[in-house]
């Protein structure tokens, strides 16, 4: 069974997919959060033969739902309405920070390479990696 992982953001949405056995998560792509978002997600669901969706549940430092949570709930309702697939939530505390650290953490980069890496990360290329972290956490729980 294949899963789609989502790291929801107001500007960009990171997407990840699982392997066919639902054990490993891989970054897929980043889509803009605009009028074409659901169209692109629909294409991915079909191409990747996705059966279930996992979306990051945004919480604050105390573990409570934060301001983004209400927007995520609306997004979940739209996903369910448009695609009829089950949608599960996985706490996503600091997944973007974790994804950024793993992207920067390469040793031996020159200062210009490090600067370029940081620019890529700040431009949103880390969102798909954050989605993969969210999905992997869910899969680890699901498969244990």
Alpha helices in 1-144 (DSSP H): 37-47, 68-83, 95-104, 111-120, 127-142
State how far the alpha carbon of 119 is from the alpha carbons of 11, 53, 111, 115, in Å: 17, 30, 12, 6
Mean of pLDDT values over 37-62 = 94
d(Cα 75, Cα 15) in Å, to the nearest integer?
14
Radius of gyration of the chain (CA): 15
pLDDT (0 to 100) of residue 109: 56
Q: Where are the domains of the chain?
A: 2-93+127-142
pLDDT at 4 over 70: yes
Q: What's the CATH fold of domain 2-93+127-142?
A: Nucleotidyltransferase; domain 5 (3.30.420)
Largest CA distance in the chain: 48
| Per-residue pLDDT tens digits for 10-34 | 999 999 999 999 999 999 999 999 9
pLDDT at 60 over 90: no
For residue 59, list its beta bridge partners: 65
| Per-residue pLDDT tens digits for 66-95 | 889 999 999 999 999 999 999 999 988 654
d(Cα 119, Cα 103) in Å, to the nearest integer?
11
| Per-residue pLDDT tens digits for 89-130 | 998 865 444 445 544 444 555 565 554 544 444 445 688 999
pLDDT (0 to 100) of residue 44: 98
């Amino acid at each position: 069974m294949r899963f789609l992982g989502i790291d929801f953001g107001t500007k960009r949405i990171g997407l990840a997919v699982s392997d066919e056995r639902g054990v490993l998560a891989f970054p897929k792509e980043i889509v803009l959060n605009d009028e074409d978002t659901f169209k692109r997600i629909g294409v991915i669901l079909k191409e990747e033969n996705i059966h279930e969706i996992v979306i990051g549940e945004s919480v604050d430092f105390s573990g409570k739902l934060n301001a983004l949570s209400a927007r995520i709930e609306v997004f979940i309702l739209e996903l369910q309405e448009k695609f009829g697939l089950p949608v599960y939530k996985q706490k996503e505390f600091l997944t973007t920070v974790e994804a950024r650290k793993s992207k920067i953490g390469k040793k031996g980069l020159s200062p210009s390479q490090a600067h370029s890496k940081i620019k890529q990360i700040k431009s949103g290329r880390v969102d798909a990696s954050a989605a993969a972290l969210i999905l992997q956490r869910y899969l680890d729980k699901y498969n244990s």
